Amino acid sequence: MPSLQPYPGTFRKLVVGIDIGTTYSGVAYAILDPGEVPQIHGVTRFPGQENHASDSKIPSILYYRPDGTVYCAGAEAAAPGMEFVAEDNELSFVEWFKLHLRPERLDSDEIKRQDLPPLPAGKTVVDVFADFLAYLFGCAERYIRETHANGDSLWTSLADQIEFVLSHPNGWEGLQQGKMRQAAVLGGLVPNTPAGHARVHFVTEGEASLNFCIQSGLTAESIREGQSVMIVDAGGGTVDISSYAFVSVSPLSVEEVTSADCILQGSTRINVRAEAFLKERLQASPYGNDEDIKSMLESFDKSTKPVFKDEKEPSYIKFGAMSCNDAKVNIKRGQLMLSGSDMMSFFRPSLDAIVTVVQKQRQGASKSLKTVFLVGGFAASPLLYAGLKKGLDAIGLTICRPDSHTSKAVAHGAVCFYLEHFVSARVMKMTYGIAIVVDYNRKDPEHALRSSNICVRPSGRKMVRGAYSSILKKGTRIRENEEISQPYSIESHNPRTLDSIVQDVLCYRGKETNPRWVDIEPELYTPLCTIYADTSKVARQPLIGPDGVYYVQEFKIILLCGLTELQAQICWVENGIEKRGPAKIVYDDDLQVSA
């Protein structure tokens, strides 16, 4: 397997990778010493989980006090008797909070925000993320202090300059990254300064899983033969599907061969379907009350769902005493029997959705795909593995499921992302562009249709508003350091209005290869971000127009889209020399909008 390279830095550093999953979370880290090859370690001791000392994941759950402070989190929140403690102390239980941060467009037909378990009163998803990040950070600190020789002095010397890598689903965008960075600040991981913000990095769960597979030697044969592989990261909330080609061995270089996908078909959807089924099946039964159904769902999640593997065999949910019987709904001695077809109905939508996306990726890939690696917590399901194996065998794909440590794959791969950027090119998931004005052509029927949108520039040129200019089209492969530029030419009678620029970047999410007008299917044009730049240093040329002197300013906005996080700069020419300055990207907050 490819070995990590010696750390080229000049001073010691600590990198922490954090994977907050919908149902389970993990932490990994590496201590970087100049000139030495780093080792990636997993945090394997958490409060309340001491009897499972080698477990590298903990439940993504919390209890809050009425005053909004955290009572407990992780394994301690799942301890026996916590329900009674919560009842006595009026605590609020929080789970699946990660899904509150998802983009509204993501599988909007599958899940609505109001269907998710609620957040505590007065708490936003950023608040809860911050509290859980703070908890995981505290666990990492305790583990490093207790595990390493001179752990206390080691931590003290590195604590103020830690680099954090946060993983997120393939389908999350800049807005979600911004909220996670806010949570890192609120959680005390980094200070609220530009330097602090720069210490928070992001990687998709699909790419982090690929890194883990590479480092674990799982892709060794594919690398040697220059094959392409697909990663299916099946988690609690999302299933992230990504496809990559190994383009060189030494140094190892990997490229996406099609745009990554993300579907809300993780293991929690199985629970949601089971809950709906139980409520309908038991509505006339004395055991159809909220308490019994809650007990059934807990048993289903912990015992029934994980071992289901054959739709020809019945499954059982244990929930009550031996005296609990209702033959009409197959309850006998405190156990509810479900037929194999009933159980299969909970899994089938997820199975079908995954196979559909795998086929889509295979068809859209620029190189042939043969091998699929199934990782993530949901990958442990024997039914999921068997169902996918059957479906993928039928289309000529081989599926591999690592038999150990898949739970730490993403956190481990997040640290690896900081150390080795194996993926050198990524494929655009959507088209980026801006709304522009174009020169009016009275012979163009499209322009004639928009005669009410005509405006006149200070130069006297007639322009039509509402045109769309694609900066970067969906499916384009972009290398990490590749720059995409958009030229601007602005006219104004007042030179002061040329001191700054505010430009919205719009995503086009439709099927047209060359979208031209934002008023055609306007719902398919959604704001990605707003770019703010100081243009006061950019030269402006005075000219004479129909109404007197006006000023023209020309420059470019540079986008760096090949990274895991969008970046921008402003560029202009001064005395024949190219000058550059920073541009700030701000994301609109749509978190309060309910689907």
Residue 591's pLDDT is 33
Query: What's the confidence (pLDDT) of residue 588?
Result: 63
**Number of Cβ within a 10 Å radius of residue 110:** 15
| Exposure class string for 538-561: b at 16+ Cβ within 10 A, else e | bbbeeeebeeeebbbbebbbbbbb
Percent of all residues in the chain with a pLDDT value above 70, rounded to a whole number: 95
How many whole angstroms separate alpha carbon 323 and alpha carbon 249? 64
**What does the alpha-carbon distance between residue 149 and residue 153 come to, in Å, rounded to a whole number?**
9
pLDDT value of residue 407: 63
Distance CA 375, CA 242 (A): 12
Per-residue pLDDT, 593: 29
For residues 390 and 248, the answer to whether their CB atoms sit within 8 Å is: no
The pLDDT of residue 590 is 39
Instruction: Please return the burial class of 323, using the count of CB atoms within 10 Å of its CB with bins 0-12, 13-18 and 19+.
Output: exposed
Q: Six-digit token pair at 224?
A: 């040697």
Render pLDDT for 385-439 as a digit per residue (tens, 0 to 9): 999 999 999 999 999 988 654 567 899 999 999 999 889 889 988 899 999 999 9
pLDDT exceeds cutoff 60 at 594: no
β-pair partners for 234: 239
113: confidence class by pLDDT, cuts 50, 70, 90: low
What does the pLDDT average to over 441-446? 93
Task: Find the mean pLDDT for residues 279-302.
Answer: 94
Instruction: Write down the architecture of domain 13-203 according to CATH.
Output: 2-Layer Sandwich (3.30)
For residues 192-217, give the mean pLDDT: 92
Determine the Cα–Cα distance for residues 318 and 316; give it in Å rounded to an integer: 6
Out of 104-108, 324-328, 339-343, 497-501, least confident range: 104-108
Tell whether the model's pLDDT for residue 501 goes beyond 50: yes
Residue 63 has a pLDDT of: 97
Look up residue 416 and give its DSSP letter: H
Nearest to 437 by CA among 468, 412, 414, 411: 468
Sign for the pseudo-dihedral over CA of 225, 227, 232, 233: positive
pLDDT at 18: 97
Nearest-angstrom CA–CA distance, 443 and 447: 8
The CATH 3.30.420.40 portion of the chain extends over: 206-264+368-424
Distances (CA, A) of 261 to 230, 264, 359, 427, 435: 11, 10, 12, 11, 27
Average pLDDT, the chain: 90
Q: In the structure encoding, which two tokens stand for residue 267, read together?
A: 């293991």
Please, which pLDDT band fits residue 350 given cuts at 50, 70 and 90?
very high
pLDDT, position 560: 83
Greater model confidence, 518 or 421: 518
Beta strands in 137-281 (DSSP E): 163-168, 200-204, 228-234, 239-248, 253-256, 261-263
Q: If 0-12 CB within 10 Å is exposed, 13-18 middle and 19+ buried, where does residue 492 land? A: middle
d(CA 266, CA 536): 50
- The per-residue DSSP string of 292-355 comes to HHHHHHHHIIIIIGGG---TTS-EEEE-S-TT--BGGGTEETTEEEE-HHHHHHHHHHHHHHHH
Distance CA 278, CA 80 (A): 25
- pLDDT for residue 109: 65
pLDDT in tens, 566-584: 888 888 888 888 988 888 8
- What pLDDT score was predicted for residue 316? 96
pLDDT(247) > 60: yes
More confident residue, 513 or 70: 70
| CB neighbour list of residue 497: distance below 8 Å, 6 or more residues apart | none
Predicted confidence band of residue 216 (pLDDT cuts 50, 70, 90):
confident
CATH class of the domain whose range is 206-264+368-424: alpha beta
Position 170 pLDDT exceeds 80: yes
Report pLDDT for 292. Answer: 93
* Nearest in space to 509 (alpha carbons), one of 536, 495, 527: 527
Q: Tokens at residue 535, please?
A: 């243009």
As a whole number of angstroms, the distance between CA 335 and CA 304 comes to 11
pLDDT tens for 453-471 read 999 999 999 999 999 999 8
Mean pLDDT of 38-44: 93
pLDDT of residue 103: 87
Closest CA to 389 of 379, 212, 410, 238: 379
DSSP codes, 115-175: GSPPPPTT--HHHHHHHHHHHHHHHHHHHHHHHSTTHHHHHHHHGGG-EEEEEE-TT--HH
Q: Output 342 or 593, whichever has higher pLDDT.
A: 342
- Asked if 97 and 64 count as a contact pair (C-beta separation under 8 A), the reply is no
pLDDT for res 525: 94
Do 294 and 288 contact (CB within 8 A), yes or no? no
pLDDT-derived band at 557 (thresholds 50, 70, 90) equals: confident
Residue among 412, 413, 15, 6 at smallest CA distance from 200: 15
Give the pLDDT confidence score for residue 405 in this predicted structure: 47
Residue 526: C-alpha distances to residues 13, 46, 49, 523, 550 (Å): 40, 42, 44, 7, 33
